Amino acid sequence: MSDTPATFDVPFALGMMALHEAPALHAPAALADWIEARLDQGLHWFDHADIYGDRAGETLFGDALRARPGLARRVRVVTKASIVVPARDASPFAVKHYDSSAAYVTRAIDAALTRLGVEHLDHFLLHRPDPLMEAEATARALDDAIAAGKLGAAGVSNFLPETWRRLQAAMTHRLVAHQLQLSLAHAEPLFDGLFDALVGDGQVPMAWSPLGGGRVLTGPARPQLLAQAEQFGVTPAGLALAWLRALPGRPLPVIGSLRPERLETLCRDAELDLPRAAWFALLEAARGHEVA
């Protein structure tokens, strides 16, 4: 099996899920300026999905890259597909569902390349596990896309071990990245075996909702976050990211903010080397009880 390592050498990835809701960045030149500023800041991983804004996020991003020749060579792109929303369901049922069929995956990859305006996707992830997945056919579609140079690597999102291992067993290339919900407000994967399984299988964890949609900062860990943030000279949000980054495999948080000043602060704070006792104090505060 070939081995294609991920090089997530940044404190976090920039999540593009809200790009379509930011009118100030919809003009290609304005978004190109924003992207270039992030690249100059050292943040070059951009996380997309075809359902973000019903493809609008990828389209806006691609328009910006086409408006500023040279940017496409500097960005690193992750995108996801396999969720079919009701409005995109061509059947009479108009039902939200998952589609990991070989034909759908191949079309989704080609469409994402066109919308994003890049020559290849650094990482392409299956967005949700599909109970109807024919692993051999899906594996062949992913392997073929990698062999054709369309993908740097393939991965999964929100999968359980039995499902990704069935897919991996049919693939030539390694599943490299895995997006999962992980934060101080949602630490269950650290205790139910999911996190250990994906790291043990060589997947690089990407943490979506790393601040729990704000719950990390307003929930039971808030007093401890505030106290430690003052002690270490960082923001509470940056401390919460440093807590994630301390885990094995160095999880890559996916940050949804588009505000340059917030991203600059988080970029600095997330690199904090958090002491072990401080890490457990935050875990205890978030869970409401000490470890066994």
In total, the chain counts a number of residues equal to 292
CA separation for the pair 189, 173 (Å, rounded): 25
* Residue in this structure with the two tokens 């691609």, named with its chain if needed: 62
At 274 the three-state DSSP class reads coil
| Active-site annotation holds for 98 | no
Please check whether residue 229 is in contact with residue 281, taking contact to mean a CB–CB distance below 8 angstroms.
no
Look at the block and give the residue holding tokens 């009701």. Answer: 86
Sequence letter at residue 56: A
The letter for the amino acid at 215 is R
**Angle between the N-to-C axes of helices 102-116 and 135-147, in degrees from 0 to 180, rounded to the nearest 10:** 30
Within a 10 A sphere around the Cβ of 127, how many other Cβ atoms? 22
- Name the catalytic one among 52, 124, 159, 208: 52
Compute the Cα dihedral for 255, 260, 265, 267 and give only its sign.
positive
Q: Which residues are catalytic?
A: 52
